[in-house]
Chains A and B, each alone.
Chain A
Amino acid sequence: MNNFHYTKASSVDEAVLAGKGAENYFIAGGTNLLDLWKYDLTHPQKMVDVNGIEELKTITELPNGGLRLGALVTNNTTAYHPLVEARYPLLSRTILAGATAQIRNSATNGGNLLQRTRCYYFYDPASPCNKRNPGSGCPAVEGQNRLHAILGFSDKCIATFPSDMCVALAALEAVVRVTGPNGSREIAFADFHRLPGDRPELDNTLGQDELITAIDLPPRGYAEHHNYLKLRDRNSYAFALVSVATGYELEAGMIANARIALGGVAHIPWRVEAAETYLEGKAPTEASFAGAADLILAGAQGFEHNAFKIELARRTIVRSGMMALDPSCQRPGAPPSL
């Protein structure tokens, strides 16, 4: 490891001040950053340890009936928090579908939003990668691309965003609160992550000097009808090939409003509002969800090793929609196709 500066911040203002600079990094749980560092993929000059900022470690109710998740609350603490379990069980389920208990005990909410892709080529410093080394090329397009995108990719990058938690946050229309040298601002979740386009090195719209302070959940939590279905190459500790978060509200047996977000298929959690509008007024049937799936997957395109994901995603959307009818049958840790 090369030498670097290390400083501990005890307030948001202190952290933002210390964090100014291109190769300065905030560190919280460190579950992804330390790996990137050890593997010679990132080269921090200064590490600003934000773990001492107590004000970011709380979960509080908002006046509008929503919930504010402190950026430094760990993933596990969030998943098992009584208010989250009661009002946002979809969020609990997505968090617990990710990583391992050990990782979730260290990983924080803010950090979860900022994890890097798991593309094999991104993790190999000797390999070209437009995300790591802009302009060097993308071997995944014609290489091993099982984990890769079928939607929203560009010719520069076909990587996927690996988070499970963020799939629920997208469906719930969370708001990301950030603070930087120029003050604080709020970013709608749909605007937080970005498609690769010509700048695959940019995963999101967070400013270089900005620190995530909290994630606000709107009042609507879809506690009655929700599901997270994650399909992966083994039953734990694997990233999603396809995952679907579904939430809807029923009125007189018909869908009043719906949210569907997909993980494992794009550079961002994938949401198509037209598909959600399509479901309004329809009965929660396989046919309805199949119709929504067609809208969500419009334009999907596979590569040599991931073309199966298109059909798999279609079926998973339908299954997740049907499973959301009765969330009580979904035991944590149960095999995914229960």
Chain B
Amino acid sequence: MPAINVNPTRQELTRLKGRLRTSVRGHKLLKDKRDELMKQFMDVVRENRALRQKVERELLRAYASFTVASAVMSPEMLEQSLLYPKQSVELDMSFQNVMSVNVPEYHFKTRSSDAGEIYPYGFATTSGELDDAVNALSGVFQDMLRLAQIEKTSQLLAEEIEKTRRRVNALEYVKIPQMQEAIKYITMKLDENERASTIRLMKVKDMILKQAIEEKREETANAVKTFGGSDEGTGEV
């Protein structure tokens, strides 16, 4: 018996065969998709690792500069200096399609293009260390944004690969074998039915023949009796 319950009919067989064809085709396509996604993913994830290492290293350096700056200046002064930024950043996001996965692409725009605008304070009351710190931070920001894009892409791709892999496996190890088994079951059952009906016909034919022979024999016997009897009668005479 197959795992799924099917009617052993010719209609069902045709339907199942059609489904099996579709499944095999789908399986092949999904497998190709998975392989291509994997290829893309490996590239992205390698870059992700390298970029993350770089960003973490540079951020720590920027933090260190800030620590130096805060040692030179009072915390209130430091906070006040940074309180009202001159610069503002806007992010444009577009989408790129990688094997039917939408991945984001970030483009950022600063309100003013002047690089000096990142210092939101007058230079009279602040220390040079703060300038260094802000400068270091703005240097790492480009990479941070790139990291955001790459990391999100790798997360989205990972999710899609996981989904595709599950589908491929489900088709390969569950759905397709199940359908093949069902098709085999129906074929066997239909063949069996056919043989059974042939045998039945042969049996019936046998019975009819037997009956006919019996009748014939009886007729002959009767005839022999009748004519044989009169023959005897004439013989006596």
Are these two chains actual partners, yes or no?
no
